[in-house]
Homo-oligomer: A and B are copies of this chain.
């Protein structure tokens, strides 16, 4: 049996009881280590499970899936994924390969940022599509995600923005020379992501002086709520306008992982008050909520 097990958001104790039992009963345990990170290292997991863990990078999962699945018709294999197994990527390749080899599989779900984002208090029903914001480079400023934010905003929907993670990346030089030397991991912070967003907005046609509306993304009248390390005891939320968030120091958010929500117009008084507790400037938060978003008590 192949077990695909979500580890949840923060540390070794976020696994479910069902998941822990499956891991403890497994003959081999893999940890998928390229779409997210836990707040703890592999050693903490190994000590808690009483099992050795094989770290599976993207290369291994995509090109050596038959090694992962070896003998899973008679042995139990656990494949661990931070968050939920279907959160960042569906792992459909691996599961279809298991099917082809007549290996049964069981999925053990867990929280991922895709539903834990509910913790900022906006109704999950009113989120549109999720976007990922990639790191800009000097020569590459991908912006297709911005149109998706706008699609959501036009419908009054919130957007969960996930921020880039660079794990096991090679420098251009090392890549060109075929050297398997990897750069240190990089995790995008909220100020970086919001600054990238604002720089794209600046490039657009200059805004006319019409009344700002929530469906028009604007530095001073679009509200956002950031999440750092959601689900961890050290989690932190910050709410404010895009401009306010972009000007904060990275220390205000703490370590990775960061994400943020762009607030759409389906925004209610209870949600305003819930998120006001984390506002950079509470007076401005209420002013924009009521004056621009039209929130009524």
Contacts and interface: CB of A to CB of B under 8 A. Distances in A.
Contact of A96 (B85, B107, B119, B273): B273
Interface centre among A86, A151, A157, A270, by most chain B C-beta atoms within 10 angstroms, is A86
A270 B62 CA distance: 14
Interface string A59-94: 000000000000000000000000011110110110
A129 B131 contact: no
A217 B90 CA distance: 26
Contacts of A194: none
A158 to B, nearest CB: 9
B13 A15 contact: no
Interface in A7-25: 8-9, 11-18, 20-21
Interface in A100-119: 106-107, 109-112, 114-116, 118-119
A30 interface: no
A36 interface: no
Interface in A120-169: 121-132, 151, 155, 157
A17 B18 contact: no
Contacts of A87: 115, 118, 124
Binding site secondary structure of chain A: mixed
Contacts of A16: 8, 13-17, 110
Interface string A10-54: 011111111011000000000000000000000000000000000
Contact of A157 (B20, B99, B123, B129): B129
Contacts of A270: 90, 92-93, 96
A9 B107 CA distance: 12
Contacts of A90: 118, 121-123, 270-271, 274
Interface of A: 6, 8-9, 11-18, 20-21, 84-87, 89-90, 92-93, 95-96, 99, 106-107, 109-112, 114-116, 118-119, 121-132, 151, 155, 157, 230-231, 233, 270-271, 273-274, 277
Given A109-B119, A115-B115, A124-B130, 13 more contacts: A8-B109, A14-B18, A14-B109, A16-B16, A90-B123, A107-B119, A109-B111, A110-B111, A111-B115, A112-B115, A114-B114, A125-B131, A128-B128
18 contacts: A12-B17, A15-B17, A16-B16, A16-B17, A16-B110, A17-B17, A17-B20, A90-B271, A93-B270, A96-B270, A96-B274, A109-B111, A109-B116, A114-B118, A114-B124, A127-B129, A128-B157, A151-B155
